[in-house]
Chain A
Amino acid sequence: EVQLVQSGAEMKKPGESLKISCEGSGYNFPTYWIAWVRLMPGKGLEWMGIIFPDDSDTRYSPSFQGHVTISADKSINTAYLQWSGLLASDSAVYYCARSYSSGWDTPIFDFWGQGTLVTVSS
């Protein structure tokens, strides 16, 4: 059974750093693209970027480039999303999602993690 299990909810202050994780199981993790998607209340879903764990080829949405870093460790089947300086506006639910499409730019998200709630407040 394919599963993506994300790390738990986080409460941080503005300016702090954070790294959340997404562990895959039940499939050949390195060979599927993993994306990160943000859900903000009233704003719907936003694609942040995507990584191919086998070679760490990473692409970012222009809206998020420079503010977040996506990485992966294929030896432990885990992808990461990190911030070096959180903003209050980063408060949202973050999902990882597997794309079964072979192309990074034509993703179809067939399995999703359960979501990680990030709250940034002073």
Chain B
Amino acid sequence: DIQMTQSPSSLSASVGDTVTITCRASQSLATYLNWYQQKPGKAPQLLIYGTFTLQSGVPSRFSGSGSGTHFTLTIRSLQAEDFATYYCQQSHSSPPTFGQGTNVEMK
């Protein structure tokens, strides 16, 4: 299985900050990398797929980059509704695997 490692596991930030979350894969994914946001007690929501493409309805302050084994999710001008846990997921090889999550909490 492809191992996905996110960093940091948690971070504290303030409204208006720019936040970057990193996801590293144990082998190359090309650009088969997706990002999800999960709020407490809610289902995950797709934010970005194929490394770069914003899912419909996702604000443009979210962006993704990377390729191969190194990927990043950037949130510019963090809003109150962005405090949540973020997961990366590879869709390159079966079984699909997720990172362990990054909890973005309010400073």
Residues of A in contact with B (beta carbons under 8 Å apart):
43-47, 59, 61-63, 95, 97, 101, 104-110, 112-115
Contacts and interface: CB of A to CB of B under 8 A. Distances in A.
B96 A107 contact: yes
Given A44-B87, A46-B98, A109 B93 contact: no
Interface in B48-88: 49-50, 55, 87
A112 B34 contact: no
A45 B101 CA distance: 8
Scoring A46, A59, A104, A112 by chain B CB atoms within 10 A of each residue's CB, the highest score goes to A112
A107 B95 CA distance: 10
Interface in B84-107: 87, 89, 91-101
B91 A108 contact: yes
Interface residues of B, number: 24
A112 B89 CA distance: 15
A25 to B, nearest CB: 15
A3 to B, nearest CB: 11
A44 B100 contact: yes
Given A44-B99, A44-B100, A109 B36 contact: yes
B26 interface: no
A114 B45 CA distance: 11
A43 B100 CA distance: 6
Contacts of A115: 43
B93 A105 contact: yes
Contacts of A62: 95
Nearest to A42: B100
Scoring A45, A46, A63, A113 by chain B CB atoms within 10 A of each residue's CB, the highest score goes to A45
Contacts of B99: 44
A114 to B, nearest CB: 6
Contacts of A106: 32, 91-92, 96
A95 B43 contact: yes
Nearest to A114: B43
7 contacts: A47-B96, A62-B95, A95-B44, A97-B44, A107-B91, A109-B44, A110-B55
